[in-house]
Structure 1
Amino acid sequence: MIADRPERPDERTPLPPLADDAPFPAAPGHDFTVRRRTLLALLVAAIVLPCIYVAAMAYSDLSAREADATDTTLRTVRVAEEHALKVFDMNEALDARVVDLVRGLNDDGIRASEPQIHEKLDAIGGGYPQVAAVSIFGSDGGLLASSRYSPPPSVSIAARDDFTGIRDGRVIDHVSRVMQSQVSGETVFNMGVARLNDAGAFAGLVSVALRPGYFSSFYRDLLGPDSPMSLGLVRSDGTILAFDPPPRADASVITPRSPLGAALLRGTESGVVRMHSTLLDSNVILAFRRVGAYPVYVTCAYRTPAIWAAWYRHLSVLIISMFTPSIALWCVIWLSLRRLAAEEEAWERWQAEASMRRSIESAYRQSRKMEALGNLVGSVAHDFNNLLMIVSANVQIARRRGAAGFERELSAVERALKSGQSLTRQLLGVARKQPLRNETIHVGRWLPAARELLRASLGAKVSLVVNVDDDVWPVLVDVAEFELALINLAVNARDAMPNGGRFTVRARNISFRPDEGLPLDGDFVHVMLEDTGTGMPPDVLARAFEPLYTTKSKGTGTGLGLPQVFAFCERTGGLAAIDSAIGAGTTVHLYLPRSLAEPPAQRPSEPREESAQVQHGLNVLLVEDNDEVAAGTEALLQMMGHRVTCASDAVSALQRVEAPLAEGEHTPRFDLVLSDIHMPGTMNGIDLAEALQGLEPELPVILVTGYAEELERTRNADVRVLSKPFDIALLEKMLEAIREDRQARAKRDHDTTLQSPRA
């Protein structure tokens, strides 16, 4: 099918002529679908595979970093656990030495020996940086001796949790909470053991005060500067003893609802949890271990934002290194797709032009094939015209003579005559011998105005779409034949769409250059009429323009519709072509030559003044070679009141006109010459009219014919033309006009004679 996209003539590429039976050119190396899919697959692979690789590498890297962070916390927490265990074991040994020191002494005995005990306590605990003080408390919680002061201040710890807990046998309170020392004022937590009397009853408390800062300093040195990890020392109830970096001021306890708090409550010895730390205000990977048998745990937390930050940095490098060449590859594939699209567009344009060339060349060959058939059809139609003229004339004679009782029979004959005349016109149109009345029209204005005509032909089930370019050129056509062509195509489209569909009419400008080797050359208006019907099989499409060929049922088609369209376009100077396929609808292309003349402006018709003079008959010279046609026409003219002289050929008719002139008569013997064009002999009707114009320029001539090609010469002669078979009423109007002109000319001559001066 010819593409709808308008193209400028300079965009075309000359194509080699296609053979009559050549298949449509294949596209070696132009399998655009496969190539496009291949490029798209490569593009998808070039996008998806790097993304999958980057995603896999990113996931692997993140998992490895999290695993490394977990392993680091586990190693670090083991180191911290070993350190804490040594410290607590040493403190427990110190407590045992102090207990042995005061064994067998009651509170009064300790007070009595306080100076000596103070020196020994200072010697026991003074050499350790983690020990803030070593103290001995009595059964009532009062301070009996201290390594810091001698004599000791009056201090009581009777209300402290560690004192009451040890007194009551609670294990957890052997390690106290962090507090401010009442003796030294330092921040400490205590490790205490019960002091028993000889009866094994609770006699007091021996306590070693430990500095939390010692543990924090050790953790700081262990982790190093800017470490993403944090180390802490907590009791089993979640109380924080030491932590580095220091937690928020309001955070001193691990909440039981956190994964670590829940593990401590369950008494889990060690493990790794993921949680949100309120102390650090961050998500962490946290490893914890219990310090020996003490109610104390060491924790190591690794901040996950630090893991993600390092992962993001590595991912950025990976993306840049991976996608930089990938982006270059994407650009290459994208450019290849654009180039492929341009090649496909050029290929489709080449296909459209090749299809158009095939259609035009096929239509041109069809026109040559139909030319011979047209001559035969034209000869038959001409003879049939004469028969119709005889019947029509005799029917008119019978009517004018008032044949009573034959009204119905005469009406039936007249209906048959009209059908025969219509069939004859169609045959002559197909044979290119029907006279044309060409006029210049604007297609862009005329096609939308013909919308109602097309709607009536299409019926209610078919929708009509008219799409005409704004700058469509004017064309020189016979409007009646153009309308008939559109009606024929609309009726065919309606029959091809019994269940409804769409009929589209488009018009655009198109130009053909001489070097393209096509039958058409110059500027044309391309009218496309497309339906969505069932389409034609190839064998029907090959014979679509043949006269009398039809696929319709008997009585519904004459086989002259499409031939009329083809003949109309060819006689206009253009061409018609068809594209169709089963299930793909049918598109008919009409190529009408551009007219350089502008359509004439419509002028209102001026009313004619009725003549009041008495009407007189005319002297008519009837020239007709067919005796029966001449007899019928002569009788009709006589019944109209005219006087008729008959001649059988143009030579004898010319002699009858020349005879009175040769005898010196100044007034012509005839008022009108009515002649057939096609006659035997050396002269036809047009030759006769041209000869009469040389003898009597004012003698009216009416030529009757059924051949279109004979009318070309009549345009140069001042004659009237009747298409055969003609309507009697039309002949009467012509005769009446000639009679009025003759009377007006006579009146003018008479007035001129009266006004001229006498000699």
Structure 2
Amino acid sequence: MTQDRFDPRRASRRSAERQGDAVFPAVPEQNFHVRRITLIALLVAAVVLPCLYVAAMAFNDLRSREADATDMTLRTVRVAEEHALKVFDMNETLDTRIVDLTEGLGDDGIRAREAAIHQKLRTMGGGYPQVAAVSIFGRDGALLVTSRFYPAPPVSIGDRDDFVGLREGRDLEHVSKVMSGHVAGEQVFNTGVERRAPDGTFAGVVSVALRPSYFDAFYRELLGGTDGLPMTMTLVRTDGAVLAHYPRRPGEPNAVAADSPFAEAMKEGRRAGVTRMRSNIDGDNMIVAFRHVGSYPVYVMCGYRASAMWAAWYRHLAVLFLSIFTPSVALWCVIWLSLRRLGAEEEAWERWQAEASMRRSIESAYRQSRKMEALGTLVGSVAHDFNNLLMILSANVQIARRRGANGLDRELSAMERALKSGQSLTRQLLGVARKQPLRNETVALDRWLPASRDLLRASLGAKVSLVMDVGVGIWPMRVDVAELELALINIAVNARDAMPNGGRFTVRATNITFRHEDGFPLTGDFVQVSLEDTGVGMAPEVLARAFEPLFTTKAKGMGTGLGLPQVFAFCERSGGLAAIDSAVGAGTSVRLYLPRATEAPAVDVPVETGTEDGSAPHGLRILLVEDNEEVAAGTEALLQMMGHHVTCVLNADMALRLLDDGHRQHSRTGEPLPFDVVLSDIHMPGSLNGIDLAEAIRAFDATLPVILVTGYAEELDRARQVNVRVLSKPFDIALLESLLQGIQRELAQSGLDPAAHQVQ
């Protein structure tokens, strides 16, 4: 089954459960909002919690790596400090022994004993791999003796910074900068002590040249001895001059940057610590641990590359991401799919709710129609009798008009207005009783409905806005256009009264198919016309009686209680059904289900009027069959005033005997039949009704015109099958007169002049 998405209000579904005699079981509620919020909360938690966990773990891992790197540098720099301290202590001891060896000797005395002293220096310094040379310099910086050469070459260091510094008593110069040694012939830095003469004056310098490569080799071994090390080691003077460094790189600076945190720490005299800095030597951000080497003007510095730490952290973070977010992504997908499925389920639930509501309202309306059949019969009987009274009154008013009752125009006009009101009320009663004849025709709703916009606006009033939503490809339907128009007006008037402060009235049209297997009381193709308002709505007890004839909630004299019953009866007589949904404060939705037409809508063709010959037609011989004597008398008098000759009988049995006698006379003598037309009511006492009479007439004379008068819809189709003319009661006398004139012209054209049968 297909349908448009009906959403008048969800509350109306609950109220629809109480329509009709039975109370439907409550539909289980589905709290999709709570479920959606729960899933969204789960999705947020599934995203946020892993992210928080990963962030916490990553933060802790980074801090842990920083702590491990700091701890490693501290441990390593402590080992390097102990090593450097032993080396410098050994050098100091060696220097002291050499000073003792040359005590009391001047420069000349040392030169005099150069061979012996050279041998002793060679023995003393030759056993240490870090020592490149041991030398003794005189008062003016001239080389007196060295462990490296004999005899000593003519070398002077009188202008060298370390010599000058020792002579001037500067402690820093006890350890020189790295230089190319004049004696050692390689890159060295010197540790030296001054020699004193017996009088305490400066007598020269004893210098031990140390190899930086020795320290580089030790640092390589200390750090693991592989390329791509995350750590570096540096031996540096307190003025920032680099004495040894591992690993070395081409073009590296020979001093620590003066503005580095480590340089600041040395200036402050800190003996140990940890700092972070951008190393100008290693070209990287470093975690640097440093320690002062004993009392010497030297620091050892161990650095850990931040890039290596970050690279290891990124690798761990990638593993953490994969291990945490791989299942998390699967969980996100499951929750996302659950949200999509919930959306589809909610949409399906809404469709099911709308369909269930529609089914309940249709079933309730179907039961209502069965319940109203008995009441409809009663209303129909009352309307039929009332119709006869109106016919009597109408006929006598027409008689008075034709006789020219002077001075009674006002009174006759009032009677005619009352007749029209009574006829309208009778039509409504017969419509509710399903006995009002329908003049069905095929209608294209997408063309007809917009043309009715002005009529609906007039019914709704100025405060209510009108919205029309006609779908594409709406099927044609077969209905009585006048009844459809009246149904829309009745619904629009009710909507206007429900929206005293204004609102919106929406008209929608869609195609819908009901299938038997879906359990609907209707089956087949229908056009659904939905008329929705935003008014105050109906209480359940009012909704249950909305289609009940003569039931109204309006003030006395303001409503007849026939509006919605007319809508219901019209839809049912058209082969469809009407349903209503409403709740207090939620508005009302009335849905009309009208059957789809099999043929295309008719195209209006201009009617060509026949030409008149200017001669007045002669009166007809009419057989009037009417059981109500007063209706018969009034109709007979009017027909006679029109110039016709009327024979009146009270039932179809008597009329059939007259016609049968006339037919036998015609067969025996050739005389014409005594009547030109038969005008008969359908509903009469006796064994035959008007339709039976018409069928009997057709059996022996197919050319005799028959006009049947009825107020019952169920008799209309059968009457038309007999191929007779039909008037709906109460009928306008002018319409009957026009019909009789047409019969007169037909007789004249066929050569059967009514004048030939005139009875003088």
Same fold (TM > 0.5): yes
Q: Does 1:599 align with 2:604?
A: no
| Distance (Å, rounded) in 2 between the aligned partners of 1:525 and 1:154 | 125
Q: Does 1:713 align with 2:722?
A: no
The answer to whether the Cα contact below 8 Å between 1:504 and 1:531 also exists between their aligned partners in 2 is no
The answer to whether the Cα contact below 8 Å between 1:448 and 1:466 also exists between their aligned partners in 2 is no
The one-letter amino acid paired with 1:690 is E
Q: 1:539 Cα shift?
A: 1.3
Aligned residue in 2 for 1:733? 738
Q: 1:719 Cα shift?
A: 1.7
* Distance change in 2, residues 1:622/1:23 (3 Å): closer
SS at 1:722's partner residue?
strand
| Distance (Å, rounded) in 2 between the aligned partners of 1:171 and 1:403 | 153
Q: Does 1:361 align with 2:363?
A: yes
| Distance (Å, rounded) in 1 between the aligned partners of 2:120 and 2:497 | 127
* Distance change in 2, residues 1:248/1:745 (3 Å): farther
Q: Deviations over 1:578-627 (max 9, x none)?
A: 222234333323333344x2225415234223212402243233333334
Aligned residue in 2 for 1:148? 148
Q: 1:409 Cα shift?
A: 4.4
The answer to whether the Cα contact below 8 Å between 1:524 and 1:591 also exists between their aligned partners in 2 is yes
SS at 2:389's partner residue?
helix
Q: 1:396 Cα shift?
A: 3.6
* Distance change in 2, residues 1:732/1:242 (3 Å): farther
| Distance (Å, rounded) in 1 between the aligned partners of 2:705 and 2:331 | 86
What TM-score, normalized to structure 2? 0.86
The one-letter amino acid paired with 1:78 is R
Aligned residue in 1 for 2:751? 746
| Distance (Å, rounded) in 1 between the aligned partners of 2:673 and 2:686 | 25
* Distance change in 2, residues 1:325/1:616 (3 Å): closer
* Distance change in 2, residues 1:260/1:181 (3 Å): same
| Distance (Å, rounded) in 1 between the aligned partners of 2:645 and 2:485 | 40
Q: 1:725 Cα shift?
A: 2.2
Aligned residue in 1 for 2:758? none
Q: 1:700 Cα shift?
A: 2.1
The answer to whether the Cα contact below 8 Å between 2:665 and 2:671 also exists between their aligned partners in 1 is no
Q: 1:374 Cα shift?
A: 1.3
Q: Deviations over 1:655-690 (max 9, x none)?
A: 444454444463344333333222233332222322
The answer to whether the Cα contact below 8 Å between 1:427 and 1:560 also exists between their aligned partners in 2 is yes
| Distance (Å, rounded) in 1 between the aligned partners of 2:5 and 2:234 | 80
SS at 2:442's partner residue?
strand
Aligned residue in 2 for 1:505? 508
Q: 1:503 Cα shift?
A: 1.3
For 1:177-216, what aligned pairs fall within 5 Å after superposition? Answer: 177-198=177-198, 200-216=200-216
Q: 1:463 Cα shift?
A: 4.3
The one-letter amino acid paired with 1:687 is D
| Distance (Å, rounded) in 2 between the aligned partners of 1:259 and 1:730 | 118
Q: Does 1:64 align with 2:67?
A: no
The answer to whether the Cα contact below 8 Å between 1:618 and 1:672 also exists between their aligned partners in 2 is no
For 1:82-101, what aligned pairs fall within 5 Å after superposition? Answer: 82-101=82-101
Aligned residue in 2 for 1:704? 709
SS at 2:93's partner residue?
helix
SS at 2:624's partner residue?
strand
Q: 1:241 Cα shift?
A: 1.9
Q: Deviations over 1:720-759 (max 9, x none)?
A: 2222222333333323322322222228999xxxxxxxxx
For 1:59-138, what aligned pairs fall within 5 Å after superposition? Answer: 59-107=59-107, 110=110, 113-138=113-138
* Comparing 631-640 and 287-296, the one that deviates more: 631-640
| Distance (Å, rounded) in 2 between the aligned partners of 1:112 and 1:562 | 144
Q: Deviations over 1:121-140 (max 9, x none)?
A: 33333322212223344454
The answer to whether the Cα contact below 8 Å between 1:469 and 1:508 also exists between their aligned partners in 2 is no
* Distance change in 2, residues 1:402/1:59 (3 Å): same
* Comparing 308-317 and 170-179, the one that deviates more: 308-317
| Distance (Å, rounded) in 2 between the aligned partners of 1:343 and 1:33 | 12
Aligned residue in 2 for 1:615? 616
* Distance change in 2, residues 1:197/1:734 (3 Å): farther
Aligned residue in 1 for 2:560? 558
The one-letter amino acid paired with 1:207 is S
| Distance (Å, rounded) in 2 between the aligned partners of 1:386 and 1:84 | 136
SS at 2:561's partner residue?
coil
SS at 2:751's partner residue?
helix
The answer to whether the Cα contact below 8 Å between 2:184 and 2:209 also exists between their aligned partners in 1 is no
The answer to whether the Cα contact below 8 Å between 1:189 and 1:209 also exists between their aligned partners in 2 is yes
Aligned residue in 2 for 1:757? none
Unaligned segments of structure 1, at least 5 residues: 7-17, 751-759
Unaligned segments of structure 2, at least 5 residues: 7-18, 756-760
Aligned residue in 2 for 1:432? 434
Q: Deviations over 1:359-386 (max 9, x none)?
A: 2221111111211221222222223323
Q: 1:72 Cα shift?
A: 1.3
The one-letter amino acid paired with 1:304 is A
Q: 1:715 Cα shift?
A: 1.7
Aligned residue in 1 for 2:569? 567
* Distance change in 2, residues 1:190/1:375 (3 Å): same
Q: Does 1:686 align with 2:691?
A: yes
| Distance (Å, rounded) in 1 between the aligned partners of 2:280 and 2:3 | 73
| Distance (Å, rounded) in 1 between the aligned partners of 2:512 and 2:368 | 24
Q: 1:436 Cα shift?
A: 0.5
| Distance (Å, rounded) in 1 between the aligned partners of 2:438 and 2:413 | 29
The one-letter amino acid paired with 1:135 is S
Q: 1:223 Cα shift?
A: 0.9
SS at 2:282's partner residue?
coil
SS at 2:592's partner residue?
strand
SS at 1:309's partner residue?
helix
How many residues matched? 734
Q: 1:569 Cα shift?
A: 1.5
The answer to whether the Cα contact below 8 Å between 1:611 and 1:740 also exists between their aligned partners in 2 is no
| Distance (Å, rounded) in 2 between the aligned partners of 1:104 and 1:574 | 140
For 1:101-500, what aligned pairs fall within 5 Å after superposition? Answer: 101-107=101-107, 110=110, 113-198=113-198, 200-224=200-224, 225-226=226-227, 227-322=229-324, 351-443=353-445, 446-447=448-449, 450=452, 453-454=455-456, 457-458=459-460, 461-468=464-471, 470=473, 472-497=474-499, 498-500=501-503
What's the RMSD between the two structures over aligned residues?
3.6
SS at 1:368's partner residue?
helix
| Distance (Å, rounded) in 2 between the aligned partners of 1:636 and 1:170 | 154
**Highest relative contact order (Cα 8 Å, sep 6+), 1 or 2?**
2
* Distance change in 2, residues 1:522/1:187 (3 Å): same
Aligned residue in 2 for 1:13? none
Aligned residue in 2 for 1:670? 675
SS at 1:712's partner residue?
helix
* Comparing 283-292 and 366-375, the one that deviates more: 283-292
SS at 1:466's partner residue?
strand
The answer to whether the Cα contact below 8 Å between 2:4 and 2:510 also exists between their aligned partners in 1 is no
SS at 1:129's partner residue?
coil
Q: Deviations over 1:105-129 (max 9, x none)?
A: 5555555554444444333333222
Q: Does 1:648 align with 2:653?
A: no
The one-letter amino acid paired with 1:698 is T
* Distance change in 2, residues 1:695/1:269 (3 Å): same
| Distance (Å, rounded) in 2 between the aligned partners of 1:638 and 1:174 | 158
| Distance (Å, rounded) in 2 between the aligned partners of 1:536 and 1:234 | 97
* Distance change in 2, residues 1:486/1:164 (3 Å): farther
Q: Does 1:530 align with 2:535?
A: no
Q: 1:31 Cα shift?
A: 7.1
The answer to whether the Cα contact below 8 Å between 1:360 and 1:576 also exists between their aligned partners in 2 is yes
* Comparing 77-86 and 287-296, the one that deviates more: 287-296
| Distance (Å, rounded) in 1 between the aligned partners of 2:443 and 2:368 | 27
* Distance change in 2, residues 1:695/1:179 (3 Å): same
* Distance change in 2, residues 1:352/1:183 (3 Å): same
